[in-house]
Protein backbone atom coordinates (compact mmCIF):
# COMPACT_ATOMS: atom_id res chain seq x y z
CA UNK A 1 0.00 0.00 0.00
CA UNK A 2 1.34 3.41 -1.01
CA UNK A 3 0.05 6.91 -0.29
CA UNK A 4 1.21 10.30 -1.50
CA UNK A 5 3.14 12.16 1.16
CA UNK A 6 1.85 15.73 0.69
CA UNK A 7 -1.87 15.02 1.32
CA UNK A 8 -0.87 13.08 4.45
CA UNK A 9 1.24 15.98 5.67
CA UNK A 10 -1.60 18.41 4.99
CA UNK A 11 -3.91 16.21 7.07
CA UNK A 12 -1.26 16.16 9.81
CA UNK A 13 -1.33 19.97 9.87
CA UNK A 14 -5.13 20.13 9.79
CA UNK A 15 -5.46 17.77 12.74
CA UNK A 16 -2.89 19.85 14.61
CA UNK A 17 -5.03 22.94 13.97
CA UNK A 18 -8.44 21.50 14.90
CA UNK A 19 -7.20 19.80 18.05
CA UNK A 20 -7.49 16.18 16.96
CA UNK A 21 -3.73 16.01 17.38
CA UNK A 22 -2.49 17.48 20.67
CA UNK A 23 0.64 17.70 22.79
CA UNK A 24 1.59 14.88 25.15
CA UNK A 25 0.04 16.86 28.03
CA UNK A 26 -3.29 17.07 26.20
CA UNK A 27 -3.03 20.76 25.28
CA UNK A 28 -3.55 22.10 21.77
CA UNK A 29 -0.47 22.85 19.75
CA UNK A 30 0.67 26.47 19.66
CA UNK A 31 0.21 28.73 16.66
CA UNK A 32 4.00 28.87 16.33
CA UNK A 33 4.14 25.07 15.91
CA UNK A 34 1.46 25.22 13.22
CA UNK A 35 3.41 27.89 11.35
CA UNK A 36 6.54 25.73 11.54
CA UNK A 37 4.65 22.74 10.11
CA UNK A 38 3.32 24.88 7.26
CA UNK A 39 6.83 26.06 6.45
CA UNK A 40 8.02 22.45 6.37
CA UNK A 41 5.19 21.68 3.94
CA UNK A 42 6.37 24.47 1.63
CA UNK A 43 9.82 22.86 1.35
CA UNK A 44 8.23 19.45 0.79
CA UNK A 45 6.13 20.93 -2.01
CA UNK A 46 9.25 22.46 -3.54
CA UNK A 47 11.01 19.10 -3.41
CA UNK A 48 7.97 17.28 -4.77
CA UNK A 49 8.09 19.49 -7.88
CA UNK A 50 11.52 18.09 -8.72
CA UNK A 51 10.29 14.47 -8.62
CA UNK A 52 8.99 12.83 -11.80
CA UNK A 53 6.30 11.13 -9.70
CA UNK A 54 4.85 12.35 -6.38
CA UNK A 55 6.70 11.45 -3.18
CA UNK A 56 4.99 8.39 -1.71
CA UNK A 57 5.08 6.56 1.60
CA UNK A 58 4.56 2.81 1.59
CA UNK A 59 3.48 0.47 4.34
CA UNK A 60 6.18 -2.07 5.27
CA UNK A 61 4.00 -5.19 5.45
CA UNK A 62 5.43 -8.30 3.78
CA UNK A 63 8.34 -6.54 2.13
CA UNK A 64 11.11 -8.65 0.69
CA UNK A 65 14.74 -7.91 1.38
CA UNK A 66 15.46 -6.23 -1.96
CA UNK A 67 12.31 -4.12 -1.58
CA UNK A 68 13.44 -2.89 1.83
CA UNK A 69 16.86 -2.00 0.41
CA UNK A 70 15.21 -0.10 -2.42
CA UNK A 71 12.99 1.80 -0.02
CA UNK A 72 15.89 2.68 2.26
CA UNK A 73 17.75 4.07 -0.76
CA UNK A 74 14.65 6.03 -1.77
CA UNK A 75 14.45 7.77 1.61
CA UNK A 76 18.19 8.34 1.84
CA UNK A 77 17.96 10.26 -1.45
CA UNK A 78 14.86 12.08 -0.18
CA UNK A 79 16.69 13.12 3.01
CA UNK A 80 19.65 14.54 1.09
CA UNK A 81 17.43 16.31 -1.45
CA UNK A 82 15.20 17.77 1.27
CA UNK A 83 18.25 19.32 2.96
CA UNK A 84 19.51 20.57 -0.41
CA UNK A 85 16.25 22.43 -1.07
CA UNK A 86 16.68 24.36 2.20
CA UNK A 87 20.42 24.95 1.85
CA UNK A 88 19.80 26.36 -1.65
CA UNK A 89 17.70 28.99 0.14
CA UNK A 90 20.63 29.71 2.47
CA UNK A 91 18.79 28.29 5.49
CA UNK A 92 20.86 27.86 8.64
CA UNK A 93 21.74 24.46 10.08
CA UNK A 94 19.40 25.07 13.00
CA UNK A 95 16.49 25.90 10.71
CA UNK A 96 17.17 22.84 8.56
CA UNK A 97 17.27 20.82 11.78
CA UNK A 98 13.90 22.22 12.86
CA UNK A 99 12.25 21.10 9.62
CA UNK A 100 13.79 17.64 9.87
CA UNK A 101 12.46 17.33 13.44
CA UNK A 102 9.02 18.28 12.09
CA UNK A 103 9.35 15.50 9.50
CA UNK A 104 10.21 12.92 12.17
CA UNK A 105 7.22 14.09 14.21
CA UNK A 106 5.04 13.59 11.13
CA UNK A 107 6.25 10.01 10.57
CA UNK A 108 5.66 9.18 14.25
CA UNK A 109 2.14 10.58 13.83
CA UNK A 110 1.54 8.23 10.89
CA UNK A 111 2.88 5.24 12.81
CA UNK A 112 1.29 5.78 16.21
CA UNK A 113 -1.78 7.95 15.56
CA UNK A 114 -2.88 6.64 12.16
CA UNK A 115 -1.68 3.04 12.39
CA UNK A 116 0.17 3.45 9.14
CA UNK A 117 3.35 1.48 9.86
CA UNK A 118 6.33 2.79 7.99
CA UNK A 119 9.82 1.34 8.11
CA UNK A 120 12.32 2.93 10.46
CA UNK A 121 14.01 4.96 7.70
CA UNK A 122 12.99 8.28 9.27
CA UNK A 123 15.09 7.52 12.35
CA UNK A 124 18.12 8.12 10.14
CA UNK A 125 17.03 11.71 9.46
CA UNK A 126 19.61 13.45 11.64
CA UNK A 127 18.87 17.13 12.18
CA UNK A 128 22.02 19.28 11.90
CA UNK A 129 22.40 21.83 14.67
CA UNK A 130 24.92 24.28 15.96
CA UNK A 131 25.26 26.06 19.27
CA UNK A 132 23.94 29.60 18.85
CA UNK A 133 25.17 32.41 21.04
CA UNK A 134 22.56 33.75 23.43
CA UNK A 135 22.30 37.52 23.04
CA UNK A 136 21.26 39.18 26.30
CA UNK A 137 21.16 42.78 27.49
CA UNK A 138 24.23 43.41 29.61
CA UNK A 139 23.62 44.20 33.28
CA UNK A 140 25.09 47.71 33.11
CA UNK A 141 22.78 48.56 30.20
CA UNK A 142 19.73 47.26 32.04
CA UNK A 143 20.73 49.35 35.06
CA UNK A 144 21.14 52.38 32.77
CA UNK A 145 17.56 52.01 31.51
CA UNK A 146 16.26 51.62 35.06
CA UNK A 147 18.02 54.49 36.87
CA UNK A 148 19.05 57.09 34.29
CA UNK A 149 16.28 59.70 34.59
CA UNK A 150 18.11 62.15 32.32
CA UNK A 151 18.01 59.66 29.46
CA UNK A 152 14.34 58.91 30.10
CA UNK A 153 13.46 62.61 30.07
CA UNK A 154 15.14 62.95 26.67
CA UNK A 155 12.87 60.33 25.09
CA UNK A 156 9.62 61.02 23.25
CA UNK A 157 6.55 59.56 24.95
CA UNK A 158 6.25 56.52 22.66
CA UNK A 159 9.84 55.47 23.41
CA UNK A 160 9.30 55.96 27.15
CA UNK A 161 6.55 53.33 26.90
CA UNK A 162 8.88 51.01 24.98
CA UNK A 163 11.62 51.45 27.58
CA UNK A 164 9.23 50.66 30.42
CA UNK A 165 7.89 47.49 28.77
CA UNK A 166 11.41 46.41 27.87
CA UNK A 167 12.69 46.90 31.45
CA UNK A 168 9.77 44.88 32.84
CA UNK A 169 10.35 42.09 30.31
CA UNK A 170 14.09 41.98 31.09
CA UNK A 171 13.26 41.67 34.79
CA UNK A 172 10.34 39.25 35.04
CA UNK A 173 10.83 37.16 31.88
CA UNK A 174 7.29 37.40 30.48
CA UNK A 175 6.88 37.23 26.72
CA UNK A 176 5.81 40.35 24.85
CA UNK A 177 2.39 38.85 24.11
CA UNK A 178 1.79 38.33 27.84
CA UNK A 179 3.12 41.77 28.85
CA UNK A 180 1.05 43.72 26.34
CA UNK A 181 -2.06 41.76 27.43
CA UNK A 182 -1.70 42.57 31.14
CA UNK A 183 -4.83 44.03 32.71
CA UNK A 184 -5.27 45.78 36.06
CA UNK A 185 -6.73 42.52 37.38
CA UNK A 186 -3.35 40.83 36.74
CA UNK A 187 -1.77 43.01 39.45
CA UNK A 188 -2.25 41.81 43.03
CA UNK A 189 -1.11 43.55 46.19
CA UNK A 190 -0.68 41.45 49.32
CA UNK A 191 0.43 43.42 52.37
CA UNK A 192 3.22 45.55 50.88
CA UNK A 193 4.22 43.11 48.15
CA UNK A 194 3.02 43.41 44.55
CA UNK A 195 2.64 40.45 42.19
CA UNK A 196 1.98 39.91 38.50
CA UNK A 197 -0.42 36.99 38.17
CA UNK A 198 -1.02 35.79 34.63
CA UNK A 199 -1.29 32.79 32.34
CA UNK A 200 1.09 32.43 29.39
CA UNK A 201 -0.66 32.58 26.03
CA UNK A 202 1.93 30.30 24.45
CA UNK A 203 2.30 27.59 27.10
CA UNK A 204 -0.86 28.06 29.22
CA UNK A 205 1.43 28.18 32.27
CA UNK A 206 0.12 30.04 35.30
CA UNK A 207 2.69 32.47 36.69
CA UNK A 208 2.79 34.51 39.89
CA UNK A 209 5.81 36.83 40.10
CA UNK A 210 6.72 39.11 42.97
CA UNK A 211 8.04 42.29 41.40
CA UNK A 212 10.80 44.60 42.69
CA UNK A 213 10.12 48.22 43.62
CA UNK A 214 11.20 49.75 40.31
CA UNK A 215 8.83 47.50 38.34
CA UNK A 216 6.03 48.39 40.75
CA UNK A 217 6.70 52.10 40.11
CA UNK A 218 6.55 51.55 36.36
CA UNK A 219 3.32 49.57 36.43
CA UNK A 220 1.56 51.96 38.79
CA UNK A 221 2.32 54.80 36.32
CA UNK A 222 0.09 53.11 33.78
CA UNK A 223 -2.61 51.60 35.98
CA UNK A 224 -5.99 53.12 35.33
CA UNK A 225 -9.50 51.82 35.89
CA UNK A 226 -10.51 53.49 32.63
CA UNK A 227 -8.24 51.32 30.47
CA UNK A 228 -8.78 47.65 29.68
CA UNK A 229 -5.03 46.98 29.40
CA UNK A 230 -2.21 48.41 31.47
CA UNK A 231 0.03 49.39 28.53
CA UNK A 232 -0.84 51.10 25.25
CA UNK A 233 -1.56 48.44 22.66
CA UNK A 234 0.85 47.79 19.80
CA UNK A 235 1.92 44.95 17.54
CA UNK A 236 5.15 42.99 17.92
CA UNK A 237 6.64 44.54 14.77
CA UNK A 238 6.16 48.04 16.18
CA UNK A 239 7.72 47.06 19.49
CA UNK A 240 10.77 45.44 17.85
CA UNK A 241 11.27 48.42 15.55
CA UNK A 242 11.09 50.92 18.40
CA UNK A 243 13.30 48.93 20.78
CA UNK A 244 16.08 49.15 18.20
CA UNK A 245 15.54 52.91 18.00
CA UNK A 246 15.69 53.08 21.81
CA UNK A 247 19.06 51.33 21.76
CA UNK A 248 20.27 53.76 19.12
CA UNK A 249 19.16 56.70 21.28
CA UNK A 250 21.11 55.17 24.18
CA UNK A 251 24.26 55.18 22.04
CA UNK A 252 24.56 51.41 21.69
CA UNK A 253 25.65 51.67 18.08
CA UNK A 254 28.96 49.84 18.12
CA UNK A 255 29.26 46.76 15.85
CA UNK A 256 28.77 43.35 17.43
CA UNK A 257 28.04 41.27 14.33
CA UNK A 258 25.56 38.46 13.80
CA UNK A 259 26.12 35.14 12.07
CA UNK A 260 24.34 31.97 11.05
CA UNK A 261 25.88 28.57 10.43
CA UNK A 262 25.27 26.86 7.06
CA UNK A 263 26.70 23.35 6.63
CA UNK A 264 28.93 23.93 9.63
CA UNK A 265 30.39 27.17 8.24
CA UNK A 266 29.69 30.46 10.00
CA UNK A 267 28.42 33.22 7.70
CA UNK A 268 28.16 36.82 8.86
CA UNK A 269 24.78 38.44 8.33
CA UNK A 270 24.43 42.04 7.26
CA UNK A 271 21.90 44.69 8.29
CA UNK A 272 21.30 47.25 5.52
CA UNK A 273 24.64 46.20 4.02
CA UNK A 274 26.58 46.70 7.24
CA UNK A 275 27.56 44.62 10.27
CA UNK A 276 24.90 44.40 12.95
CA UNK A 277 25.19 47.02 15.68
CA UNK A 278 24.31 46.32 19.29
CA UNK A 279 21.02 48.22 18.96
CA UNK A 280 20.10 46.22 15.83
CA UNK A 281 20.22 43.00 17.88
CA UNK A 282 17.60 44.20 20.39
CA UNK A 283 14.18 42.57 20.17
CA UNK A 284 11.38 41.14 22.29
CA UNK A 285 13.32 37.84 22.56
CA UNK A 286 16.16 39.65 24.35
CA UNK A 287 13.82 40.47 27.27
CA UNK A 288 13.14 36.87 28.19
CA UNK A 289 16.75 35.78 27.71
CA UNK A 290 18.02 38.67 29.83
CA UNK A 291 15.55 37.95 32.62
CA UNK A 292 16.42 34.25 32.83
CA UNK A 293 20.15 35.01 32.86
CA UNK A 294 19.74 37.80 35.45
CA UNK A 295 17.71 35.63 37.82
CA UNK A 296 20.36 32.92 37.64
CA UNK A 297 23.13 35.46 38.27
CA UNK A 298 21.24 36.72 41.34
CA UNK A 299 21.22 33.18 42.70
CA UNK A 300 17.57 32.21 42.27
CA UNK A 301 17.23 28.40 42.30
CA UNK A 302 17.06 26.87 38.83
CA UNK A 303 13.74 25.16 39.56
CA UNK A 304 12.08 28.52 40.26
CA UNK A 305 13.64 30.17 37.22
CA UNK A 306 12.40 27.33 35.01
CA UNK A 307 8.93 27.74 36.49
CA UNK A 308 8.94 31.41 35.53
CA UNK A 309 10.47 30.84 32.08
CA UNK A 310 8.50 27.69 31.25
CA UNK A 311 11.57 25.60 30.38
CA UNK A 312 11.41 21.86 31.02
CA UNK A 313 13.75 20.12 33.48
CA UNK A 314 16.01 18.73 30.72
CA UNK A 315 15.87 21.78 28.43
CA UNK A 316 19.05 22.23 26.38
CA UNK A 317 18.16 25.90 25.89
CA UNK A 318 18.01 26.47 29.65
CA UNK A 319 21.45 24.86 29.98
CA UNK A 320 22.82 27.60 27.69
CA UNK A 321 21.42 30.28 30.02
CA UNK A 322 23.16 28.56 32.92
CA UNK A 323 26.48 28.74 31.11
CA UNK A 324 26.01 32.43 30.33
CA UNK A 325 25.12 33.27 33.95
CA UNK A 326 28.18 31.43 35.29
CA UNK A 327 30.49 33.28 32.91
CA UNK A 328 29.03 36.68 33.85
Judgement on whether residues 104 and 143 belong to the same structural domain of the protein = no
Please state which of the ranges 21-25, 44-48, 105-109 shows the lowest mean pLDDT: 21-25
Judgement on whether residues 171 and 254 belong to the same structural domain of the protein = yes
105-141 b/e with 16+ CB inside 10 Å = b?
bbbebbeeeeebebbebbeebebbbeeeebbbbeeeb
Last residue of a domain, one of 97, 124, 151: 124
Total number of domains in the chain: 2
Last residue of a domain, one of 94, 124, 154: 124
Judgement on whether residues 219 and 317 belong to the same structural domain of the protein = yes
Judgement on whether residues 44 and 174 belong to the same structural domain of the protein = no
Judgement on whether residues 247 and 105 belong to the same structural domain of the protein = no
Residue 271, pLDDT score: 83
At 60-109, the pLDDT tens digits run 656 677 777 888 899 999 999 999 999 999 999 999 999 999 999 999 99
Percent with pLDDT over 90 in the chain: 55
- Considering the domain boundaries, does residue 134 fall inside one? no
Does residue 193 carry a pLDDT above 60? yes
Judgement on whether residues 12 and 105 belong to the same structural domain of the protein = yes
Judgement on whether residues 168 and 302 belong to the same structural domain of the protein = yes
The domain in which residue 67 lies consists of 2-124
Judgement on whether residues 55 and 195 belong to the same structural domain of the protein = no
Mean pLDDT of the chain: 87
Please state which of the ranges 19-23, 88-92, 116-120, 265-269 shows the lowest mean pLDDT: 116-120
Last residue of a domain, one of 89, 124, 159: 124
Alpha carbons 108 and 115: distance in angstroms, whole number: 10
Amino acid sequence: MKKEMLPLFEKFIQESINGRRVQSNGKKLSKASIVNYKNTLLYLQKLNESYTTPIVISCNFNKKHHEMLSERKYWNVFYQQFKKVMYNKQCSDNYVGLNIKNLKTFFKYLEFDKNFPTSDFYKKFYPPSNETQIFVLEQDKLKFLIVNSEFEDSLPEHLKVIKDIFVIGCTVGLRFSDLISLKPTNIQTIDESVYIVTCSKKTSTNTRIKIPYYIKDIIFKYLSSKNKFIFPQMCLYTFNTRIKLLGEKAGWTYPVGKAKVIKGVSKELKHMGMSYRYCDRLSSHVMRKTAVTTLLILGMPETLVRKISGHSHNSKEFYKYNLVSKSA
